[in-house]
Structure 1
Amino acid sequence: MNLNVIISNFQTFKLVDLLDIVIVAFVVYQLLGFISRTRAGQLARGALIVVLIYLIAATLHMRTITWIMDALLQVGLLTLVVVFQPEIRRALEQMGQTDQWISKVFWRSRHNDPSLRGSWRSAIIAICDAAERFSETKTGALIVLERRTNLSEIVRTGTPVNSEVNLEVLGTIFYEGTPLHDGAAIIENGRIKAAGCVLPLSNNLDLGKDMGTRHRACLGIAENSDAIAVVVSEETGIISMAKNGVLIRHFDRQSLYTRLIDEMIPKEPVTEKAKTIDGWKEQVQRLVERVTKGKEEEK
């Protein structure tokens, strides 16, 4: 009988039914991914434990526990809305950014543009050099690299710059005492779009006591977008990077460079000859930078 029902269902299966299943699977996948990346994951596990207790109590006919759980579940939906309010608001904001969905389609083709790849590579080199300098001098800095998510709302909170990314400009922006040093610098298409920008703060309770507002802002933008954020601690000089709501600490210049290249520049097949040439170019550039830095220190 059950087999006949299954066969009859397949006979009436339409293309719209397949679309219905795909949409539901996509929504569930995105929901699980969103929960796993935020503190909502802990709350969701707590809610599942409550439901499990209720099922066990109902199975074993524990009347007192069942009565209490019934009373709790009657207002459970409202409670979940209140508890998950920040996460629900963040998810709806991201869904409302239609340009984010469009940009995902063109992300790879746009970043395969040779000129744009070169701009990003030069920008990343400058960012890593600046991060190394800031780490040595314990200068606080926060740099955000825009990816698919449009950060125009964040850019509006700061001062337009529209400049190439180089060590001198970043050093000026984050020099203590300048009007822009407390905010974030937004890098778009390998150029500094704005500086002194205000970022959303993370509510993550797992951040250490040695990490203040700058680190919460770094993690906050990574929770609310797919941007890559680099932060240098003013107290310890530690270089950290945030991605997808996760803060990774203790980078040096080379490890930060490697990670940013992997994240911001899509890999493309290259010949062994091209790899050798690029390797020699990078070594020569590093040697020139060291010689220049040594001459500056002698002066």
Structure 2
Amino acid sequence: MPLLEDLANQTPLELVINVADVLLVWFVIYKLIAIVKGTKAVQLLKGIFVIIIAQFITQALGLDTLQWLIQQVLEWGVLAIIIIFQPELRRALEQIGRGKLFASSTLQEESERNRLIEAMNKSVSYMAKRRIGALISIERETGLSDYIETGIPMNSDLTSELMINIFIPNTPLHDGAVVVQKNRVAAAACYLPLSESPFISKELGTRHRAALGISEVTDAITIVVSEETGAISLTANGDLHRNLSIEDFEVKLRQLWFGEGEEQQNSSWWSRGGKRNG
């Protein structure tokens, strides 16, 4: 085969250069796809693929007139793309100039993490000040599908406004737990297993027992806002951290949810009333 013969005639250095060339092309394509993902440019790419496939079909079937029309669309389409997507192209060129093109995926992930933490922080702070009881369980490695099925499906973006509205007293979804799965609100009014540990303080109510119960059988992070006192608590891996300030809550949530700041000492949590139960 000609391809194998060409490869056999190349020196090791030429092979390395060619392989590196191909890998770089694929990497650039991957980064470009990551940039346009979630934007209106995705629909444009789908349309372009449909037109290209249609061109091959018309060529195979001998549909000359239709093939000519598609060819005109492709020729003038480049100019149309430049005009329509001028803002996106300018932003991409600015990222190249700033050296941020290939760091865009990391920046997007960091931005999404900050958005989720901010939404959770804002909603918990609002409910704590007004003593609105809340129970929120965040899925990690262990699936929570069994508990999601006990509630009302939502599959919604996680926003502070949504979280607050769910737990407003006397609303249909306020009684039960919200389960967050893959950065989305999967369901509300879910039932969580209650802890059967005899070492739980008598002053803790059903929400805290449910938070501890789910933490004993899964690796989920569960947030509790007390309806009686407005105190913020957090459970994970069978541990209960009580009476957290909103600042401590944010730091602890980042550490458990995204692994940020794991080098920090836990002494501050114990000094503020956090303790292990069960």
TM-score bin, normalised by smaller chain:
0.5 to 0.7
Give the one of 134, 152, 156 matched to 2:127. Answer: 134
The answer for unaligned runs of 5 or more in structure 1 is 1-111, 269-299
Question: Is 1:210 paired with 2:196?
Answer: no
Structure 2 letter corresponding to 1:125:
E
Question: Is 1:242 paired with 2:261?
Answer: no
Give the one of 190, 196, 204 matched to 2:189. Answer: 196
Q: CA deviation at 1:152?
A: 0.6
Does the residue aligned with 2:248 lie in a helix, a strand or coil? Answer: helix
Deviations 1:19-57 (A, max 9, x none): xxxxxxxxxxxxxxxxxxxxxxxxxxxxxxxxxxxxxxx
TM-score with structure 2 setting the length: 0.53
Q: Identity over aligned residues, as a percent?
A: 39
CA distance in 2, matches of 1:116, 1:181: 30
Relative distance call for 1:145 and 1:117 in structure 2 (3 A) is: farther
Asked whether the equivalents of residues 116 and 189 of structure 1 are also in contact (C-alpha less than 8 Å), the reply is no
Question: Is 1:175 paired with 2:175?
Answer: no
Structure 1 letter corresponding to 2:256:
E
TM-score with structure 1 setting the length: 0.50
CA distance in 2, matches of 1:115, 1:230: 25
Q: CA deviation at 1:211?
A: 1.2
Q: CA deviation at 1:252?
A: 1.5
CA distance in 1, matches of 2:239, 2:259: 21
Relative distance call for 1:113 and 1:146 in structure 2 (3 A) is: farther
CA distance in 1, matches of 2:122, 2:212: 22
Does the residue aligned with 2:202 lie in a helix, a strand or coil? Answer: coil
2:143 alignment counterpart: 150
Structure 1 letter corresponding to 2:215:
A
CA distance in 1, matches of 2:200, 2:226: 13
Farther-moved stretch of structure 1 (129-138 vs 118-127): 118-127
1:219 alignment counterpart: 212
Relative distance call for 1:152 and 1:118 in structure 2 (3 A) is: farther
Greater RCO (Cα-Cα under 8 Å, separation 6 or more)? 1
Which aligned runs of 4 or more in structure 1 are off by greater than 4 angstroms? 112-117
> Which protein has the bigger helix share?
1
Q: CA deviation at 1:262?
A: 1.3
Deviations 1:132-156 (A, max 9, x none): 1111111100011110001111110
Asked whether the equivalents of residues 119 and 191 of structure 1 are also in contact (C-alpha less than 8 Å), the reply is no
CA distance in 1, matches of 2:114, 2:151: 25
2:75 alignment counterpart: none
Does the residue aligned with 2:222 lie in a helix, a strand or coil? Answer: strand
Deviations 1:187-242 (A, max 9, x none): 11221111111000001222222211111101111001001000001011110000
Does the residue aligned with 1:235 lie in a helix, a strand or coil? Answer: coil
CA distance in 1, matches of 2:150, 2:245: 30
What count of residue pairs does the alignment treat as equivalent?
A: 157
Q: CA deviation at 1:163?
A: 1.3
C-alpha RMSD of matched pairs (Å): 1.8
Asked whether the equivalents of residues 161 and 194 of structure 1 are also in contact (C-alpha less than 8 Å), the reply is yes
